[in-house]
Amino acid sequence: MREKLNILIHGEPKSGKTTFAVRKNPGVLILDTEGSSKLVKGVKREVITSMAQMDVVLNRIKSGEVTTVVIDTLDELVNNFAKQETVRKGGDNVQTNGQLTIKGYGVLRDRFLTLTRAYRDAGADVLTICHSELVEKPEGGKKWAMKLPSDYAREVMAMMDVVGFLEVARTGKEDVRRVHFRKTPHFDAGCRLVYDAVEDKRIDVLPPHVDDPSLIDVIRAYDNFFDGDGRGYLTCGACKVETATQKAVSPKGNEYDLCDKCCAVVKAKWEEETKEPFETNNPDRAKAQ
């Protein structure tokens, strides 16, 4: 069995971060700090109004009641609720003008890093969503970075297995939502390599980017790596968009990884051509879903 995953997705406003979390995956619990999920139908949703509430939900996750949780969004949690809580504590955390002191910022930082760590270790797959903003790089030029103080962002990223940057890519024809899993000069991203002891090599479970992505596909890629056929993320060989869930062997003996929809199409086509029934579903991959 694989370890639980910690995934962070950041992206431009309206890039589809909440959709990424819930697409094809109604079993998630959304911890909604800013009302962004109120137009999402069919998922469990908890509106978060304080840090204390985050502690309460944490205990429900630890009890095993929740297996996939989404923090939507981290920047709102830090910049609003964690900050409010620190200001309320008062003392030498707060200046006379109501702004946090340097000590206050330290208290805030410790509070939210402790909470992030507790969620990481609670026994659920955790997706953390964060807004991005364009920031000046020290070496010149701009890049997309998490909307958090840069030292906070670095520490959060260090805790994650996967950091993805979500954008609306202009492909020339239709706009497509695309998530990147490799760092470039234009945005922060990256994922931990996993080690295959049998093959003695380190493997990227995720490709450099995925179009029309979803959290469940990312989780499935890790399930496939650890409990399935060991190959990680597979894109459908026919439509090149959906996740491959089935293996199909053509009448000529060639193997294809296909999504459910494309698999049904090729199966019908082959049966039409050969007048013989085709077994296309691969039991290993079906099990991993």
- Residues forming contacts to Zn ion in the complex (CB under 5 A) are 236, 238-239, 242, 259, 262
Minimum CB distance to Zn ion, residue 193 (Å):
27
> Which residues, 6 or more positions from 173, have their beta carbon under 8 angstroms from its beta carbon?
none
Return the number of the residue (142 or 240) whose C-beta is nearest Zn ion: 240
* Structure token pair of residue 95: 């200046």
Strand-pair partners of 135: 143
> Which residues, 6 or more positions from 64, have their beta carbon under 8 angstroms from its beta carbon?
123
Return the number of the residue (161 or 242) whose C-beta is nearest Zn ion: 242
Minimum CB distance to Zn ion, residue 237 (Å):
8
Minimum CB distance to Zn ion, residue 212 (Å):
11
Return the number of the residue (51 or 259) whose C-beta is nearest Zn ion: 259
Query: How would DSSP label each residue in 109-141?
Result: HHHHHHHHHHHHTSSSEEEEEEEEEEEE-TTSS
Minimum CB distance to Zn ion, residue 273 (Å):
19
**What is the Cα–Cα distance from 177 to 182, expressed in whole angstroms?**
16
Return the number of the residue (161 or 257) whose C-beta is nearest Zn ion: 257
Return the number of the residue (5 or 262) whose C-beta is nearest Zn ion: 262
Minimum CB distance to Zn ion, residue 271 (Å):
18
**What is the Cα–Cα distance from 104 to 123, expressed in whole angstroms?**
30
Q: Give whole-number Cα distances, 142 to 136, 237, 275, in Å.
A: 4, 36, 59
